[in-house]
Amino acid sequence: MANGQEGGMSMREQAIVDKILEKAPYAEGKVRRERRIEFTVPAERIRDFLTLLKKNNFELMLQITPVDWPNDGEIELIYQIWSVTHRTHVMVRTRIPRELEKARMPTVKDIYPVAETYERDAHDFFGVYFEGNWKMEMPWILDDTEQDIYPLRKDFDMLQYVKKKYKILDRFDENKDNYVI
């Protein structure tokens, strides 16, 4: 994005963005650089938008990245999809509230079946519940004793947790809140 190659190099990408936006007026889109585009979509329209993308030859879902923004009170979900046909990477950004009971999304596993795995991952680490994914409660990476905590959220105090769980006190400086190793 810093390279600012918005010139003739990314005409192809701009055409794709225009084509998608024409069919989805609720979304915003832009070209980041060559072979990288991104869209911002409201959370309730995500299924429509991903269906549209799938129809437009965006075949491979690479990952669902949740990013926690506690200052905004929101969790950002980034659906990263690669198009083998267009040779373009697309990020679909959407934001949902970060309170546990409100952090719910409709599942997209019927559009991209692999999303089931990524959704389980996001649920385990961020507590985002994907409605319609029956494997949500299935044990995933974390152990059952830790089911009520979501370690990748920003308000998860890792040091306190480690001290409590593993009962070690050395190597931790109590006065330093910002430690660098």
Partner 1 sequence: MVDWRLFEPLFEFARKRSLWIVSFCTGCGGIEMPPLMTSRYDLERFGMMANPAPRMADLFLITGYVTPKTLKRIIITYELQPDPKYVMAHGSCPLNGGVYWDSYNAIKHLDKYIPVDVVIAGCMPRPEAVMDGINKIMEMIENGTADSWKRYKENYEWYKKNQDELFGEGWREREARRWIPWLMDKKEE
Partner 2 sequence: MVAQSELIKEARENGMDLLPLDKDTYELFFGPQHMATENFSIILKMDGHRVVEAIANPGFLHRGFEKLAEFRPWHTNVALLLRVCVPESDVPETIYSMAVDEIIGWEVPERAQWIRTTVLEMARVSSYLFWIMGLSFKLGVYTAGQWAAAYRERLMALFEQLTGARVYHIYTIPGGVRRDIPSDRWLHQLKDTVEYIKSKLPDFDHLVFENYITFKRMEGIGVMNKKFALSEGVTGPNLRATGVPYDVRRADPYLLYPELDFEVPVLNEGDALARALIRRFELEQDLYILEQLLDMGPPSGPYQVSDPRLKNLPRFKVPAGDAFSHVESTKGDFGAYVVSDGKNKPYRVQIRGPSIAHGIRVLEHLLVGSRIADVPVILMSLDNCPPDIDR
What residue ranges bind partner 1 (CB under 8 A)? Answer: 138-139, 142-145, 151, 156, 158-159, 161-162, 165-168, 171
The binder of partner 2 chosen from 45, 59, 136, 163 (CB under 8 A) = 59
Q: What DSSP character marks residue 3?
A: T
Closest CA to 153 of 180, 117, 118, 127: 127
- Binding site partner of 148, from partner 1, partner 2, none, Cβ cut-off 5-8 A by kind: none
CA 82 to chain centre: 15
Site for partner 2 in 31-50 (CB under 8 A): 35-36
The binder of partner 2 chosen from 91, 106, 136, 163 (CB under 8 A) = 91
- Binding site partner of 101, from partner 2, partner 1, none, Cβ cut-off 5-8 A by kind: none
Provide the b/e sequence for 82-91 (b: ≥16 CB within 10 Å): ebeebebbbb
Residue 120: what are its φ and ψ, rounded to 5°? -60, -40
Q: Are 132 and 106 in contact (CB under 8 A)?
A: yes
Q: Spell out the alpha helix ranges (H) of 85-133.
A: 115-126
Site for partner 2 in 2-21 (CB under 8 A): 2-3
The binder of partner 2 chosen from 118, 119, 130, 133 (CB under 8 A) = 118
Using the contact rule CB under 8 A, the part of the chain among 9-17, 22-30, 55-63, 164-172 near partner 2 is 55-63
Closest CA to 62 of 92, 34, 40, 103: 92
Q: In which residue are the tokens 């910002």 written?
A: 178
Closer to partner 1 by CB, 2 or 168: give it.
168
Site for partner 2 in 132-161 (CB under 8 A): 138-143, 151-152, 156, 158
